[in-house]
């Protein structure tokens, strides 16, 4: 492993600020030893002895309440005064709208005793056309919706039959006529069968940085809500953010993803428990750079850890990834230069670790990844595969893994390598209990 790569992986385990400093000055510039608060310099901040802290609770708190309004009010108050901590006291907080987190916030709770959940979802069709420049819609029946609600509009695109998805907040209403917080910027024509649904992430952020979320329980009320695609929602959903840390967060029962972040950089998911979600446990989304997922439990989701498109220089280590219905780990489209090590991946419904076949371009496969020192146990059904390297994947190292099948061998395979794969290195793996240890479909030279 190159020295620069090894240095990154070592630093990623340290405090976010010090790791960021070391990476930034790896080119030889002197590191910041005694940071000062300098206008516009968000990368370096002194360790202040005291910052603003606001408590939220059902009683005996700075702000009293049990819904999204009181939580958002506390977050906004702290953010508007330079940042600090919002402490959520024990209790159940039921949302009609996402809690939007700005930069510089620490949101912390009391673990299992601080539960953020949501109302049941509802969906209603639109009663009139709205154009892309409109800031209002008319529904056939808006009785379920209130001013302040987060909603999503979904329709079939009139021009290409693709999906239209628009997330907005209701800011005013007259009967079935709703004003939104922003213009639509897409057409919602009745020909595309548009609907309005009360679907939203519980915690969300866009274009923010330096946020910590810890010691919270997020419950998505799965049995009473529709599915919401992880590219738009999740128990936690981020878009275009940097330097977020999730620590000891439980994300459960969301009809979609547990934790999803799209085009977000230097995200740390540490000691979190993402379980019983309909789709993905943790979803480092398209273009996300340097994610760190460690010491997490990803259990009974549709899929445990999903590396999306173009996720690079990430590390997943010391995670327990168990009983996910499809794959334990899935990696594919241009996800390169990542390391997965010291993970326990057990009871995957189809495949333990899948390298997806991404036949979309000349070189879109999950190249230059490392799989080492993992335990992969009991993957798939009678013809299950522990590690499946598909398509034209190349330059992958699979080393020192314990790959076990404790059930009957049946037609199960430990490692399958596609005929088009190149330079797949297998070294010092311990394989036990399979009908086929290594199925290498590449032409023999």
Q: Are 305 and 299 in contact (CB under 8 A)?
A: no
Q: What is the chain's mean pLDDT, rounded?
A: 93
pLDDT attached to residue 42: 77
Orientation angle between helical segments 16-24 and 3-12, nearest 10 degrees:
160
26 pLDDT band, cuts 50/70/90, is: low
- Range 147-154 average pLDDT: 98
Cα–Cα dist 90/87, whole Å: 10
The answer on pLDDT for 160 being more than 90 is no
* Whether the predicted pLDDT of 9 surpasses 60: no
Q: pLDDT (tens digit, 9 = 90+) per residue, 383-419? A: 999 999 999 999 999 999 999 999 999 999 999 999 9
The Cα 244–Cα 99 span in angstroms is: 15
Q: Could you tell me the pLDDT band of residue 22, with boundaries at 50, 70 and 90?
A: very low
State percent of the chain over pLDDT 90. Answer: 86
Exposure letters 208-220 (e unless 16+ CB within 10 A, then b):
bbbbbbbbbbbbb
% the chain with pLDDT above 70: 94
pLDDT at 188: 96
Please tell me the predicted confidence (pLDDT) of residue 43: 77
Q: How does pLDDT run across 66-85, given as a tens digit for each residue? A: 999 999 999 999 999 999 99
Q: What is the number of alpha carbons within 13 Å of residue 416 lying toward its C-beta?
A: 22
Question: Which CATH code for domain 52-118+200-440?
Answer: 2.160.20.10
What is the domain partition of the chain in residue ranges?
1-49, 52-118+200-440, 123-197
Q: Which long-range contacts (CB under 8 A, 24 or more apart) does 171-175 make?
A: 171/147, 172/147, 173/142, 173/145, 173/146, 173/147, 175/142
**What's the confidence (pLDDT) of residue 18?**
40
Annotate 337-380 with DSSP letters as a single string.
S-EEES-EEE--SSEEEEE---TTSSS-S--S-EEES-EEES-S
Ramachandran angles phi, psi of 365, nearest 5°: -90, 170
Asked if pLDDT for residue 12 goes beyond 90, the answer is no
pLDDT at 161 over 90: no
356-to-15, 115, 158, 383, 389 alpha-carbon distances in Å: 33, 36, 32, 18, 7
Q: Which residue reads 């994300």 in tokens?
A: 251
CB 145 within 8 A of CB 151: yes
Helix (H, G, I), strand (E, B) or coil at 6: helix
Alpha-carbon Rg for the chain in angstroms: 23
Confidence of residue 158 (pLDDT cuts 50, 70, 90): confident
Which residues, in sequence order, are bridge partners of residue 152? 167, 197
The pLDDT, as a whole number, for residue 362 is 81
Examine the pLDDT at 21 and tell me if it is beyond 80: no
Quick one: which H or E segment has residue 123? strand 123-125
Residue 49 has what pLDDT? Answer: 85
pLDDT tens track for 39-60: 888 778 888 888 899 999 999 9
The helix, strand and coil proportions of the chain, stated in percent and rounded to the nearest 5, come to 10, 40, 50
Displacement of CA 204 from its chain's centroid (Å): 11
Q: How many CB atoms lie within 10 A of CB 123?
A: 14
Q: Which residue has the higher pLDDT, 22 or 90?
A: 90
Q: Show the tokens assigned to 264.
A: 């977000």
For the ranges 73-77, 154-158, 441-445, the maximum mean pLDDT occurs at: 73-77
Q: How confident is the model over 435-440, as a mean pLDDT? A: 98
Residue scoring higher pLDDT (170 or 160):
170
The mean per-residue pLDDT over the stretch 121-126 comes to 98
Best CA proximity match to 355, nearest among 304, 406, 389: 389
């Amino acid at each position: 492993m190159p020295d620069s790569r090894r240095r990154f992986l070592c630093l990623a385990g340290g405090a976010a600020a010090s790791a960021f400093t070391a990476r930034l000055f790896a080119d030889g510039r002197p590191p910041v030893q005694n940071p000062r608060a300098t206008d516009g310099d968000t990368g370096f901040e002194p360790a202040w002895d005291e910052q603003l802290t606001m408590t939220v609770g059902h009683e005996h708190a700075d702000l009293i309440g049990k819904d999204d309004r009181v939580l958002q009010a506390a977050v906004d108050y702290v953010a508007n005064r330079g940042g600090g901590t919002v402490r959520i006291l024990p209790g159940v907080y039921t949302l009609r709208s996402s809690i939007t987190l700005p930069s510089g916030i620490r949101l912390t709770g009391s673990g299992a005793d601080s539960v953020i959940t949501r109302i049941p979802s509802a969906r209603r069709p639109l009663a009139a056309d709205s154009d892309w420049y409109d800031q209002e819609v008319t529904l056939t029946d808006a009785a379920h919706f209130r001013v302040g609600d987060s909603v999503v509009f979904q329709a079939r695109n009139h021009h290409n039959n693709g999906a239209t998805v628009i997330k907005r907040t209701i800011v005013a209403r007259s009967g079935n006529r709703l004003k939104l917080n922003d213009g639509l910027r897409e057409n919602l024509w009745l020909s595309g069968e548009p609907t309005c649904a009360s679907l939203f992430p519980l915690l969300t952020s866009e274009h923010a940085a330096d946020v910590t979320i810890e010691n919270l329980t997020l419950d998505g009320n799965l049995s009473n809500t529709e599915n919401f695609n992880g590219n738009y929602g999740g128990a936690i959903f981020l878009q275009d953010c940097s330097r977020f840390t999730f620590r000891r967060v439980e994300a459960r029962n969301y009809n979609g993803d547990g934790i999803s972040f799209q085009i977000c950089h230097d995200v740390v998911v540490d000691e979190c428990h993402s379980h019983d979600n309909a789709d993905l446990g943790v979803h480092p989304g398209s273009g996300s750079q340097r994610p760190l997922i460690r010491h997490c439990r990803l259990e009974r989701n549709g899929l445990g850890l999903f590396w999306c498109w173009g996720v690079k220089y990430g590390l997943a280590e010391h995670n327990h990834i168990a009983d996910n219905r499809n794959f334990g780990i899935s990696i594919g489209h241009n996800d390169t230069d990542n390391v997965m090590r010291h993970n326990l991946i057990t009871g995957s419904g189809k495949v333990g670790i899948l390298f997806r076949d991404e036949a979309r371009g000349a070189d879109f496969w999950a190249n230059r990844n490392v799989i080492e020192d993992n335990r992969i146990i009991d993957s798939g059904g009678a013809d299950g595969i522990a590690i499946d390297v598909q398509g034209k994947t190349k330059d992958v190292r699979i080393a020192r893994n314990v790959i076990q099948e404790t059930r009957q061998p049946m037609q199960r395979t430990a490692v399958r390598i596609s005929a088009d794969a190149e330079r797949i290195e297998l070294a010092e793996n311990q394989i036990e209990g399979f009908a086929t240890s290594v199925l290498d479909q590449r032409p023999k030279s």
